Amino acid sequence: MKSSNIGGQAVLEGIMMKNQDRYAVAVRKPDGEIFVQTETFHSITGNWKKLTTIPFVRGVFNFIDSMVLGIKTLTPARVLRRGKKTGKIPKKET
């Protein structure tokens, strides 16, 4: 059976799903509506893909990537659950 390489984690009143270079966050707003945000994921390894061939080093970078993505996806969930009147979701800085 072929692996789908899709993973995810729970966020406040929702879920985050990731597959290779894209991720999506779906959160239930206080009024019951579902908010979905899809973004492109950029790994911290960037152009240093050779580092991901070394087992222990790959684990360290994957752990850091997971922590960064987890914190990024919790931010819009937290803002939406508070029910702020502005309705602005934090955008990623480029």
Confidence band for 5, pLDDT divided at 50, 70 and 90:
confident
Give the C-alpha separation, 7 to 87, whole Å.
28
Question: Which residue's structure tokens are 């009143």?
Answer: 13
8 Å CB contact between 76 and 13? no
The pLDDT of residue 76 is 72
The pLDDT of residue 47 is 73
% of the chain residues with pLDDT over 70: 86
For the record, the structure tokens of 53 come out as 């061939």
pTM of the complete model? 0.69
DSSP structural state of residue 30: T
Give the C-alpha separation, 24 to 39, whole Å.
6
The pLDDT of residue 73 is 84
> pLDDT tens-digit profile of 36-84?
989 898 888 777 777 778 888 888 888 888 888 888 888 777 777 776 5
